[in-house]
Amino acid sequence: MDRFLQTINDFDTINAEDPHQETVLGEKVPKELLYSQRMTAMLEDFEPNASEHLRLAARSQHIKRWSIPRDSFPMDRKGYLQWRTNLKEFHGELAGSVMAQNGYSQDDIDKVDDLLNKRALKTDLEAQTLEDVACLVFLKYYFDDFLTQHDDEKLVSILQKTWKKMSEKGRQAAMHLDLSPTAAGLVQKALV
């Protein structure tokens, strides 16, 4: 097995340990394993010629995320941002460790780490592509769960923030997602 496939396999092995499960087609699947597979599939659809670095970053975006629970930080905006920053650093370090075990150079590891930490979001096309893919996965697979947790005003705000993070290509792709009628209506409301 080549180093790329071995690294993807190692990422999946780690994510398969997620104690949190989602039910898909009647089967229980580890939550972060499913997320990483959705990220890969969305990237393949959105940017079929993605570099190896970008494919590795997409697959490891939430690697072992459950090990830093949200409630380990204050439950306010500042705490949320601290949690997200710690997660990105953790994901970059863990992905880098797995990559190093599989023979990747420090330059390769640094590039994936930069992508995971979104260090050049508006100037690095690959970082923007990763952000677009994450937003598309959120909208396609996870936004409907938010519908039951927040009022319309909060949902519109979430959508507007998501939209601002996306490139024009990402926004166009989002407009073609098969969303639930409620989600599609909120998207339209957010874009007015």
Structural domains of the chain, count: 2
The verdict on 94 and 139 lying in the same domain is no
The verdict on 166 and 103 lying in the same domain is no
Collapsed DSSP state (helix, strand, coil) of residue 3: helix
The verdict on 91 and 14 lying in the same domain is yes
For the chain, the first-to-last Cα distance in angstroms comes to 50
Collapsed DSSP state (helix, strand, coil) of residue 5: helix
- pLDDT, one tens digit per residue, over 127-183 is 999 999 999 999 999 999 888 888 888 888 889 999 999 999 999 999 999 999 988
User: Which two structure tokens, joined as six digits, stand for 53?
Assistant: 């670095």
58's CB contacts (< 8 A; 6+ apart) are 36, 39, 40, 42, 43, 50, 130, 133
Flag whether the pTM goes above 0.75: yes
User: Average pLDDT of the chain?
Assistant: 94
User: By C-alpha distance, which of 65, 8, 60, 10 is closest to 39?
Assistant: 60
The verdict on 161 and 83 lying in the same domain is no
HSE at residue 169, side-chain half, CA atoms within 13 A, is: 12
The verdict on 61 and 151 lying in the same domain is no
Please, are residues 31 and 20 in contact by the beta-carbon 8 Å criterion?
A: yes
